[in-house]
Amino acid sequence: MTARAQAAGAFSTDELLTGFEKTVFGLEYRAWSWQPYTVKKYTTPVRFSVHNLAQTDRRPVVNGFIREINRKIRGLNARMASSPGEANFEVFVVDRHQYADVIRRDIYRDAKADAPGRCLVRVVSGKDGIKRSSAVIVSDEGEFLFRRCLVEEVLQGLGPMNDDKALTHSVFNDTSRHSRFTVFDQVLLNMLYDARVKPGMSFQQIQTILPIVARDALKRVR
């Protein structure tokens, strides 16, 4: 058994179900969604485009993380777009002084839009799943913030959009010190991208199958 599989086995079903409910059914900024308390996920291949506007070229790190999530999340087809027009997930890497301008110009196309937080992701979702995501990652405020924001915002752009301070093993917790794709989060994302979990489902609709989904997701973490 690998170290990752051993770590996954340390989590109880109740912990995983609680983590799934807290991250998938809700939004950090609830006013931004038409229906926050439903499943949001991609049902089509995810094609990434990376726009490095920062002084430091972060593209190798971003590309490496995209390869990692494609490898570790079963049911997700994720890779770099072959052309800009193919992309449905854009990642903007910026220095802090560019942050608000990029959010207003490239994310919301609104000069008066709010630019909250240290980093940001916007998800456009409908009843059939996520249509587009756009993440803005700050590069020049230290390696920890860059890597944490990269992991958190890209993962949130795939569907688990809420943070909760009770999730000590997760990057979906603004008080945690995680800056990598934790084993706990790998299990949650494998639960979300299980074929039995459909976009638009409420927690009430899904709760009877979630223990089985969690058990099967644990087997996928190797």
Give the pLDDT mean for 9-24: 90
Q: How far is CA 208 from CA 129, 146, 213, in A?
A: 21, 38, 10
Given a cut of 60, whether residue 111 has pLDDT beyond it is yes
The string of DSSP codes covering 70-84 is HHHSTT--EEE-SSG
Give the pLDDT mean for 37-46: 94
Given a cut of 50, whether residue 30 has pLDDT beyond it is no
The pTM assigned to this predicted structure is 0.91
Length of the chain: 222
Give which of 24, 7, 95, 82 is closest to 49, Cα–Cα: 82
CB contact at 8 A, 163 and 175: no
Beta bridge partners of 90: 49, 134
**Band of residue 26 on the pLDDT scale cut at 50, 70, 90:** low
Give the pLDDT mean for 191-195: 97
CB contact at 8 A, 153 and 135: yes
Amino acid letter for position 159 = G
Residue pLDDT, tens place only, 131-183: 999 999 999 999 999 999 999 999 999 999 988 888 999 999 878 889 999 99
What integer pLDDT is reported at residue 1 of this predicted model? 42
What integer pLDDT is reported at residue 220 of this predicted model? 86
Given a cut of 50, whether residue 75 has pLDDT beyond it is yes
Beta bridge partners of 199: none
Q: Which regions of the chain does DSSP assign to beta strands (E)?
A: 46-52, 78-80, 89-94, 120-126, 129-138
Residue with tokens 């072959």: 82
CB contact at 8 A, 183 and 72: no
What integer pLDDT is reported at residue 32 of this predicted model? 46
Rg of the chain taking only CA atoms, in angstroms:
17
Q: How many CB atoms lie within 10 A of CB 144?
A: 11
CB contact at 8 A, 173 and 165: yes
